[in-house]
């Protein structure tokens, strides 16, 4: 009796989760621009590399077909992935404005204080000494 029930259970699992359904991805729940510095390996797992550029890669999710432009692995730089609608011109997309927008959001906006960079009149990022432009510049060097 017990053995029979275990068999039923086994069948149920197999039918409920067919092989095609095991390729679950999280593309649709991701935002357009994702910082992947902390989970790079997990992020690119299950992605096909369609093309490579100068420290950038064009990846396609094997499960849903979503295109992503990602940075090549570099442990000294923040790494980003950007959702793409098509692969056209993927190498020449200017990431800076998108990343700055993301930084502003991540920091929760700007402070009342002014950026410490000499001559800069912009407000600094919340909790930071520099404005989003100069903070971003610092990340690049
Ligand atoms: Zn996907
Ligand atoms: Zn500044």
Element (H, E) at 6: helix 2-16
pLDDT band at 23 (very low <50, low <70, confident <90, very high): low
pLDDT band at 14 (very low <50, low <70, confident <90, very high): very low
Give distance in angstroms: CA of 123 to centre of ligand 2: 7
Task: Please state, in angstroms and rounded to a whole number, the distance separating the CA atoms of residues 29 and 64.
Answer: 12
What's the confidence (pLDDT) of residue 140?
80
Give distance in angstroms: CA of 15 to centre of ligand 1: 23
- pTM over 0.95? The answer is no
Give distance in angstroms: CA of 100 to centre of ligand 2: 12
What's the confidence (pLDDT) of residue 75?
87
pLDDT band at 13 (very low <50, low <70, confident <90, very high): very low
Q: Taking 90 as the threshold, does the pLDDT of residue 5 lie above it?
A: no
Q: Where are the domains of the chain?
A: 1-93, 94-141
In the 8-state DSSP scheme, what is residue 73? P
**Which is higher by pLDDT, 134 or 23?**
134
Per residue in 64-115, pLDDT (tens digit) is 999 999 999 998 888 999 999 999 999 999 999 999 999 999 999 999 999 9
From 129, 102, 87, 109, select the one nearest 36 (Cα to Cα): 102
Local structure of 9: helix, strand or coil: helix
Distance of alpha carbon 38 from the chain centroid = 10
Task: Please state, in angstroms and rounded to a whole number, the distance separating the CA atoms of residues 27 and 49.
Answer: 16
Q: Taking 60 as the threshold, does the pLDDT of residue 12 lie above it?
A: no
What average pLDDT score do residues 35-58 get? 94
What's the confidence (pLDDT) of residue 7?
47
Which pair of tokens denotes residue 85? 């609608």
Pick the ligand that lies closest to the CA of residue 45: 1
Residues 6+ apart with CB under 8 A from 103: 125, 132, 135, 136
Give distance in angstroms: CA of 38 to centre of ligand 1: 19
What average pLDDT score do residues 103-129 get? 97
Give strand pairing partners of 14. Answer: none
Pick the ligand that lies closest to the CA of residue 113: 2
Contact 139, 100 (CB under 8 A): no
**Which is higher by pLDDT, 1 or 106?**
106
Strand ranges of the sheet holding 80-84, from the earlier edge strand across to the other edge: 33-35, 80-84, 67-71, 56-61, 47-52
């Amino acid at each position: 009796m017990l053995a029979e029930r275990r068999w039923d259970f086994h069948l149920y699992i197999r039918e409920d989760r067919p092989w095609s359904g095991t390729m679950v991805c999280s593309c649709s729940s991701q935002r357009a621009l994702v910082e992947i510095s902390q989970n790079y390996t997990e992020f690119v797992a299950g992605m096909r590399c369609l093309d490579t550029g100068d420290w950038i890669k064009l990846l396609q999710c094997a499960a849903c077909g979503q295109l992503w432009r990602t940075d090549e692995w570099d442990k000294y730089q923040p790494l980003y992935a950007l959702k793409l609608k098509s692969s056209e011109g993927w190498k020449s997309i200017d990431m800076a404005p998108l990343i700055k927008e993301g930084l502003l959001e991540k920091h929760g906006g700007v402070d009342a204080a002014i950026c410490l960079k000499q001559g800069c009149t912009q407000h600094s990022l919340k909790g930071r000494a520099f404005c989003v432009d100069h903070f971003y510049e610092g990340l690049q060097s």
